[in-house]
Structure 1
Amino acid sequence: MPELVVLTEQLLAPVPGGTGRYTRELVVAMAESAPPTWTVAGVTATHRDLSAADVSGVAGPRALPLPRRALTALWERGVHLWPGGDAVHAPTPLAPPAPRRGRCMVVTVHDTVPFTHPETLTRRGAAWHQAMIKRAAQRANAIVVPTVAVAEELAEHAPGPATVAVIPHGVPAAFRTEVQQAQVHATSVGLELPDAYVLAVGTVEPRKGLDVLIEAMAKPYAPDLPLVVVGPRGWGEVDLTALAEKHGLADGRLRVLGRISDTDLAVVLRCAAVLAVPSRAEGFGLPVLEALAVGTPVVHSDVPALVEVAGDAGVVVPRDDARTLAATLSAVLDDGPGTRRRVEQGRLRAGAFTWHQAATELWRLHTRFFDMASAR
Structure 2
Amino acid sequence: MRPADTIVDCSGVGPGGITRVLTEVVRHWPAGQRLRLVAVPPTWEVPAGAAAEVAVVSRQAGDRARAVASATTTLRRVTGEARQEPAGAQVLSLSPSVAMVGSQLPVTTVVHDLAFRLWPHDLSTSVRQYRRASYATAINRSRQLLCVSARTRHDLLGLYGVPENRATVWYPGSDVDVVPGALPPELAARTGGVRQYLLVAGHAAHKGVELAVEALADLPDLVLAVLTGGQRIDRFTDAVAASPAADRVVLLDRLSDADYAAAVANAAAFLMPSHFEGYGLPAAEALRLGTPTVISPDPALLEATDGRAERMTTWTAAALVRAVGEAVGGPRPRAGAAGRSWRDATAHLAHLLDADQDGRALSQTTGKQA
TM range (shorter): 0.7 to 0.9
Q: Is the 8 A contact 1:213 1:278 kept in 2?
A: yes
Q: Distance in 2 between matches of 1:284 and 1:135?
A: 22
What whole-Å deviation, never above 9, does each CA across 1:303-355 have from its counterpart, x for those lacking one? 1110111123111114531111123212332x3xxx21x724x74223xx121
Q: Distance in 1 between matches of 2:66 and 2:352?
A: 26
What whole-Å deviation, never above 9, does each CA across 1:255-305 have from its counterpart, x for those lacking one? 111110111111111110111111111111111111111211111101111
Partner of 2:136: 134
Report whether the alignment pairs 1:26 with 2:17. no
1:59 shift after superposition: 2.5
Q: TM-score, normalised by structure 1?
A: 0.80
Unaligned runs of 5+ in 1: none
1:100 shift after superposition: 4.5
Partner of 1:215: 214
Partner of 1:322: 317
Unaligned runs of 5+ in 2: 83-88, 361-370
3-state SS of paired residue (1:313): coil
User: Given the superposition, is the C-alpha separation of residues 106 and 319 from structure 1 closer, same or farther in structure 2, using an over 3 Å criterion?
Assistant: farther
Q: Distance in 1 between matches of 2:253 and 2:107?
A: 35
1:95 shift after superposition: 5.0
What whole-Å deviation, never above 9, does each CA across 1:43-87 have from its counterpart, x for those lacking one? 217x8xx55244444523112797553445549999983553522
Out of 328, 334, 338, the position equivalent to 1:349 is 338
Task: Write the mapping of 1:47-196 to structure 2, written as runs, cut at 5 A.
Answer: 50-56=42-48, 57=50, 58-63=53-58, 67=62, 69-71=64-66, 74=69, 81=76, 83-84=78-79, 85=82, 86-94=89-97, 96-98=99-101, 100-101=103-104, 103-160=105-162, 163-174=166-177, 186-187=182-183, 192=188, 194-195=191-192, 196=195
User: Given the superposition, is the C-alpha separation of residues 269 and 243 from structure 1 closer, same or farther in structure 2, using an over 3 Å criterion?
Assistant: same
How high is the sequence identity, in percent, across the aligned residues? Answer: 22
Q: Distance in 2 between matches of 1:227 and 1:66?
A: 36
Q: Distance in 2 between matches of 1:73 and 1:212?
A: 36
Task: Give the structure with the higher percent helix.
Answer: 1
Partner of 2:367: none
| Bigger mean CA deviation after superposition, 293-302 or 56-65 | 56-65
| Bigger mean CA deviation after superposition, 72-81 or 87-96 | 72-81
Q: Distance in 1 between matches of 2:154 and 2:298?
A: 13
Partner of 1:360: 347
Out of 282, 286, 293, the position equivalent to 1:298 is 293
Q: Distance in 1 between matches of 2:205 and 2:295?
A: 16
Report whether the alignment pairs 1:244 with 2:231. no
Q: Distance in 2 between matches of 1:90 and 1:234?
A: 25
Q: TM-score, normalised by structure 2?
A: 0.81
Q: Is the 8 A contact 1:205 1:238 kept in 2?
A: no
Q: Distance in 2 between matches of 1:218 and 1:82?
A: 57
Q: How many residues align?
A: 343
1:238 shift after superposition: 3.2
